[in-house]
Structure 1
Amino acid sequence: MDNRTRAGGAALSLLATSSLIIAIAGCSQDQSSEEVESIATYEIASPPPPVSPAPPGVVAEMASVDMAMAPPPARWAAPHIPGDAYPMPPEDRERYAGEEVSPIKLVAAEPVSTFSVDVDTGAYANARRFLTMGQLPPRGAVRTEEMINYFRYDYALPEDRSKPFSVTLDAAESPWNPQAKLIRVGLRGYDLPRDERPAANLVFLVDVSGSMNSPDKLPLVKRALSGLASEMSGKDKVSIVVYAGRTAVVLEPTSNSAKVRAALSRLEAGGSTAGAAGLQLAYDMARQGFIKGGVNRVILATDGDFNVGMSDTDRLIEMIEKQRDSGVTLTTLGFGTGNYNEAMMEQIANHGNGNYAYIDSALEAKKVLHEEMSSTLFTIAKDVKIQVEFNPATVSQYRLIGYENRALREEDFNNDAVDAGDIGAGHQVTAIYEVIPAGNKGWISDRRYGAEAGSPAASRADEAAFVQLRYKLPDGSKSKLIQYRLPAAALQTRRQPQGDFAFAAAVAAYGQKLRGDELLKGFSWEDVVSLAGRQRDYYRQEFVELARTAEAQM
């Protein structure tokens, strides 16, 4: 029995709902010509636990047919594939573009931290795949922010849709460094009821090349996209484009989900991989069926192994940036092992104003394309940027945990021409800073000629940080601004993270340990498990088991 099965078995019989008060750090406002809003206190209901999943496994039905969609012959069922894990092929050609762990910043020299939000979750599922195969993931495959954002937290809903997301600020003592504090910034988008969803024009772009001929690739793609097709309403349209050595439209736009599922079931793998040509054709189809005021999105399902035509990631990004200006966005779904090009998948989704997920099981497909469909498809805020300015009178050093490839220049924050991440309906975003309060021993020794905190900082000694967010509405071109202050008193706490904050900190430590972060000192895997605490949610229980598995691989 694997770790996911043990965790799932413990979770199946547990259901719980609760009502709780989230008190968010309220602060006074600066008045300006721009829209400035403050934090409030909300009463919300915690999200229900996930539906008890069926035992993992993939059952694929396939039929022989060429890419021109010849009439299908009799169908046959492939053998049941037990479990979620697939053996790594002998030749490992997987590609990652990991960056170095974020460095420590001295507030006196660099008080401002600016970054784009990230709602991708692919790094968590991909790391899980490695661990279930008995291997540690490559450090370049680990992006800690995607691991934190894989989970949902008890953030308040927005009061109304005039501001599409709520903002939570809180602080606690760092579990691995008694000299430091953790500051959490949490965003939660408003929910979008099914009857209020805009019409969707979706193009499924499916890789049917020879490299997809594996149980964890094309059969799983077909199952995942068939599930998404079943979620579509009568006002939505789906078309299907495939590519191998050549490209083809195998299904014209239709609102008939049965036709979509039938077309998917008749796909088979073979040939080389002309991915760039497939992307171009998919964008053409999306523009052909464009719905003004609706969702127009290409959903690419592949292992990312482009080997015919344009395959350079930088050139692909240039092409996709031009396409997104037309209003068509891109979501990438990664599959498989051995030749998986995660570096390309994650980056083109970021530049295509979409999101990236890795699908390692039918259960993950259900989570991404069913349970989280609204956040995957329906954007409620775009170009969302966060900027935190620390007060040198109260904070001496800091580091942002994760978000290495989402960093922006300080001047990018006010520049509406600079692209940033989008937030979908119901999406959540969490960022965690580790900071050293002034007077505490930091990671970096005091400088001999360090400047004293200036009078402007000292005059605001009751503030620890000034937090600003910019965003645009989906149809807007000018950003809106919201501002908050984190009071200095928040950093005087000696309380360890509790509840949701403790779990988020545990996931942050998990990601950083997988990255080899030396600043975690002696914080052990058992400490990660202890900090996560007892969990009733299936995915959180699975996380605890993965942390134990990682310890066994070290």
Structure 2
Amino acid sequence: MTDDLDDLRAALKTAPAPEADAKARAMQLAMENFDRLNAPLQGSADAPRSSEDRHKAAPLNGVRRMFHNLTSRPALAATTSVAALIIAVAVILPVADLRIGSPTVAIAPPKAEPTPPIEPVAKTPVTEARAPDPDSATGGTASSVAEAEPPVAPTVATGTDAPASVEVAKPMATVTATDELQRRDLGNAASTLAQSQPAADAEAPVEMAEEAAPVSPAMDGVLLDAEPRLRAEAKAEGDTMAFLPAPATSAPDAVAPPVENTEAYANEAPNPVKVTAEEPVSTFSIDVDTASYAVVRSSLTGGYLPSPDQVRIEEMVNYFPYAYAAPEGEAAFAATVSVMPTPWNPGTRLVTIGIQGALPKVAERPPLNLVFLIDTSGSMEDANKLPLLKQSLSLMLSELRPEDQVAIVTYAGSAGEVLPPTKAGDRAAILAALENLMAGGSTAGAEGLALAYQVAEGMKADGELTRILLATDGDFNVGVSDPDGLEAYVAKQRETGTYLSVLGFGRGNLDDAVMQSLAQNGNGTAAYIDTLSEARKVLVDQLTGALFPIADDVKIQVEWNPATVAEYRLIGYETRALRREDFNNDKIDAGEIGAGTQVTAIYEVTAPGSEALLNDPLRYGTAPAEATAGELGFLRLRWKAPGEDASTLVETPITGAEPASTETRFAAAIAGFGQLLRGSVYLGDWGWDQAIGLALANRGEDAFGYRIEAVNLMRLAQGLSN
């Protein structure tokens, strides 16, 4: 007994202070249960002694009887149980959920002697709340509502061996929208769990912590329709569970996650129309890359339109060879200018500037030291990546002279030299090294570049050219913590005479932005290889132009005459724009022209007074200059001879009398093709039919089928656009 009292004292000391209202309710419930609990000690359980009789008893007898009863072990056990009940109820009531379906609370007092069984208190039925009929204009109730099961009252065990229990009266709970949602969610969860069990367990009942009140079929149908409203009502009642969606009634089918596309492209917003009186000078670097056209072709033949950032119009135009006039004498290149009406806007004209590089004889070119820097990371395992790369480089070997040297450096998780410098005449050794390449690991691109430059440095000799040809999908993911630092490193290496060109392979993770940056800073070119035919075009037909530059840092500047040109816009070259002052600064890097290479640039110009003008004249603007012999503008070209620090300047007027040719009209069709893909706002009603017709009418000589392929790509794009 002493132990029991000590336990009770400890419980009283550690119990938290109850709230006043909760304490009052608990005390009332405890007193009612105390009367029922002590009924067997005061008389028959069937006829408990009334309160009135107790008041009539003699005070002394009452005190003696009370003392006797309280000091007996059964009574003491009962008293201890009631005290424990008071403490537990006072603590639990402030936080217990008294709604329908709350779990039973069992309170175990200190071990005591069994007491005689006591009749349970009659249960009070609770009626299920009626849900409003959504079809009723007055918000009536459903016609059939089932009675809910009464709540299970907490039980008080009088000992571990005592079979009897006392049910404590519990306040009646009101069924709310939250209660009904909990009932439905619990039922749905049980249904889902049962459906997910194997067939052998289908008959086994699902054990649940609490039993949901049954609802008639009619009521259940109403609740199915009213569930969104019930959740809103439950949320208004402050129940946080109402914010959660109802459990799914069936497990969803497994869906494979989509393959992530991590492609990145270097591009800018299209050049705007500029007012000549405000900004008469346009300056940019040339661009001989062709990667964008091949990427566009890959997208269209794959059955989808390219995104606008994949389309660099100057690279699409420069993809095709043009029959421009060749330079005379010792000149490095020649410029050809032509003017024609704009196909998509009769109120403007197109001014096309074509540059043709000189093509030296093969016997006159110096020996070549070539380092193949090959990405063999895990991302290169696709058939259109490393396998196509091997075939492409094998084609290239036929264009090398026996005295040229080839080395192979690979990089994946780490970089390594697969083939030391080997004469191109030893084709078997080079082909064997290529064939043994396997894809796997991450992409340590920075480490690979460093090793390639180290190998190239060891191959150099006076009078020879040294080039690095990087073949990759552009997915550099190891060792490139500072992209700007990588670009600066490549730019520094070009000062040693080792240039870097880039070949892109594959789709899905093609990092065109990195490829463009490396090629531009490395004084090389960027191409994309999507087919073996493209590999032959780039690495066989155009190899000389890609590896043997005839002019470095080539810049173009056009000054437009405000008297004859009120507005102009440059089509393409958004990523090659230069400031006006950069033109005369020989420290500013620009693009290179390879042997036999053509470069094309197209302006759309608008004459003063034309209905096609897009800008209103300034009220206080500068008066237009007088026409100078009918000139539209003045063309300036600046470039450096390879290895030289000082530039050379060439100037020529644009008179407007230069006739257009089949070559320039086909170039205009390709410029229109690119603008259609980018969704240009300057084309008006001009569309795919007009672009296809213009290209077909000016196909000209097409020895390798490049131009008819472009027409077919336009037709594909037209079909995909509808």
**For the superposition of Structure 1 and Structure 2, which TM-score range results when normalised by the shorter chain?**
0.7 to 0.9
CA–CA separation in structure 2 for the residues paired with 1:547 and 1:313: 36
Letter in 1 for 2:561: N
Q: Percent identity?
A: 50
Q: Name the CA distance, whole Å, in 2 between partners of 1:377 and 1:530.
A: 36
5 Å matches for 1:10-25?
Answer: none
State how far apart, in whole Å, the 2-side matches of 1:460 and 1:188 are: 28
Trace 1:164-313 onto structure 2 (pairs within 5 A).
164-255=332-423, 256-310=426-480, 312-313=482-483
2:675 is aligned to: 512
Supply the distance in 2 between the matched residues of 1:498 and 1:187 (Cα, whole angstroms).
Answer: 15
Query: Equivalent residue of 1:238, what SS?
Result: strand
When residues 486 and 391 of structure 1 are mapped into structure 2, their CA distance, relative to the original with a 3 A threshold, is: same
1:386-425 matched pairs, under 5 angstroms: 386-425=556-595
SS in 2 for 1:145: helix
> 1:174·1:182 contact (CA, 8 Å) conserved in 2?
yes
Q: Secondary structure at the match of 1:278?
A: helix
Residue type matched to 2:590 in 1? A
| Separation in 2, partners of 1:489, 1:154 | 20
Structure 1 residue 144, shift from structure 2 partner: 0.2
1:537-552 alignment runs, 5 A limit:
537=702, 538-552=705-719
Q: Note if contact 1:232-1:257 (Cα within 8 Å) is conserved in structure 2.
A: no
Q: Please tell me whether the aligned partners of residues 497 and 643 of structure 2 are also in contact (alpha carbons under 8 angstroms).
A: no
1:443–1:311 distance in 2 versus 1, CA, 3 Å:
farther
Deviates more, 1:377-386 or 1:531-540: 531-540
- Cα distance in 1 for partners of 2:590, 2:534 equals 26
Q: 8 Å contact 2:317–2:667 — kept in the other structure?
A: yes
The one-letter amino acid of 2:431's match is: R
Residue 263 of structure 1, CA deviation: 0.8
Alpha-carbon distance change, 108 to 207 in structure 1, aligned in 2, over 3 angstroms: same
Match of 1:41?
none
Matches within 5 A, 1:353-372: 353-372=523-542
Structure 2: gaps (5+ residues): 1-257
Using CA pairs under 8 Å that are at least 6 residues apart, name the structure with larger relative contact order, 1 or 2.
Answer: 1
**Cα distance between partner residues in 2 of 1:445 and 1:479:** 37
Amino acid at match of 2:669: A
Letter in structure 2 aligned against 1:260: I
User: Aligned to 1:273, what secondary structure does the other structure show?
Assistant: coil
Partner of 1:503: 666
Whether contact under 8 Å (1:201, 1:289) holds in the other structure is: yes
CA distance in 2, matches of 1:203, 1:450: 60
CA contact (8 A) 2:473 2:505 kept: yes
**Alignment match of 1:522 (pick from 685, 688, 697):** 685
> Tell me, what secondary structure is at the counterpart of 1:519?
coil
Greater helix percent: which structure?
2
Q: CA deviation at 1:447?
A: 2.5
Q: 1:272 aligns to what SS in structure 2?
A: coil
User: Which residue of the partner structure matches residue 3 of structure 1?
Assistant: none
Alpha-carbon shift at residue 462 of structure 1 (Å) = 2.0
Give the Cα separation in 2 of the matches to 1:217 and 1:144: 25
- Please tell me the root mean square deviation across aligned C-alpha atoms, in Å: 1.4
**1:388-423: CA deviations, max 9, x gaps?**
000001100000000001010000101111110000
Match of 2:649 in 1: 481
What corresponds to 2:720 in structure 1? 553
CA distance in structure 2 between the partners assigned to 1:274 and 1:488 by the alignment: 53
CA distance in 1 between counterparts of 2:461 and 2:719 reads 51
TM-score when normalising by structure 1: 0.81
Deviation string 1:352-402 (CA, Å, 9 cap, x unpaired) is 100000000000000000000110110101100000000001100000000
Rounded Cα–Cα distance in structure 1 between residues aligned with 2:661 and 2:656: 20
Q: In the alignment, which residue of structure 1 is the partner of 2:554?
A: 384
Deviation at 1:312, TM superposition (A): 4.6
Read off the aligned partner of 1:544 and give its amino acid letter: V
* Residue-by-residue CA offset, 1:176-224 (whole Å, 9 max, x unaligned): 0011000000001111222112111110000001100010000111111
Per the TM alignment, residue 167 of structure 1 is displaced from its structure 2 partner at its CA by 0.6
Aligned to 1:133: 302
Aligned to 1:52: none
Distance in 2 between residues matched to 1:294 and 1:357, nearest whole Å = 24
CA distance in 2: counterparts of 1:226 and 1:521, whole angstroms: 47
Q: Is the 8 A contact 2:475 2:510 kept in 1?
A: yes
Aligned to 1:62: none
Structure 1 stretch displaced more, 288-297 or 399-408? 288-297
> Residue type matched to 2:469 in 1?
I
Structure of greater Rg: 2
Contact 1:212 1:269 in 2 (8 A): yes
Question: Structure 2 matches for 1:52-71, cutoff 5 A?
Answer: none
Return the alpha-carbon distance in structure 1 between the equivalents of residues 634 and 469 of structure 2: 38
Aligned to 1:323: 493
Q: Which sections of structure 1, spanning at least 5 residues, go unmatched?
A: 1-88
After TM superposition, give the deviation of residue 313 of structure 1 in Å.
3.4
Following superposition of structure 1 onto structure 2, how do residues 84-103 of structure 1 map, counting pairs within 5 Å? 90-103=259-272
**Distance in 2 separating the partners of 1:173 and 1:338:** 40
- CA distance, structure 1, for counterparts of residue 623 and residue 461 of structure 2: 55
Q: Which structure has greater strand proportion?
A: 1
1:107 corresponds in structure 2 to 276
CA distance in 2, matches of 1:450, 1:180: 25
Name the amino acid aligned to 1:266.
N
Question: CA separation of 1:459/1:517 partners in 2, compared to 1, >3 Å: closer, same or farther?
Answer: closer
- Residue 461 of structure 1: how far off its partner (Å): 4.8
Name whichever of 221-230 and 388-397 sits farther off: 221-230
1:445 aligns with 2:608: no
Q: Given the superposition, is the C-alpha separation of residues 96 and 503 from structure 1 closer, same or farther in structure 2, using an over 3 Å criterion?
A: same
Provide the aligned length of Structure 1 versus Structure 2: 458
SS at match of 1:239: strand
What's 1:533 paired with?
Answer: 696
CA deviation vs aligned residue, 1:87-135 (integer Å, no higher than 9, x gap)? xx83211111321000111000000000000000000001100000011
> Partners of 1:160 and 1:533 in 2: how far apart?
35
Could you list the per-position Cα deviations for residues 456-482 of structure 1 after superposition, in whole angstroms to 9, with x for gaps in the alignment?
x31525211000000111121111110
Where do 4+ consecutive residues of structure 1 move more than 3 Å?
Answer: none
Question: What is the alpha-carbon distance in structure 2 between the residues aligned to residue 241 and residue 448 of structure 1?
Answer: 60
Q: 1: distance between equivalents of 2:376 and 2:406? A: 18
Counterpart Cα distance in 1 of 2:388 and 2:560: 46
Q: Is the 8 A contact 1:276 1:311 kept in 2?
A: no
- From the superposition, tell whether residues 366 and 450 of structure 1 become closer, same or farther in structure 2 (CA, over 3 Å): farther
Structure 2 residue 506 is the aligned partner of structure 1 residue 343: no
* Structure-2-length-normalised TM-score: 0.62
- Contact residue 266 and residue 516 of structure 2 kept, 8 A: no
Alpha-carbon contact 2:339-2:656 (below 8 Å) kept: no
Residues 442, 453 of structure 1: CA spacing in aligned structure 2 closer, same or farther, 3 A cutoff? farther
Contact 1:393/1:453 (<8 A) preserved: no
Displacement of 1:443: 4.1
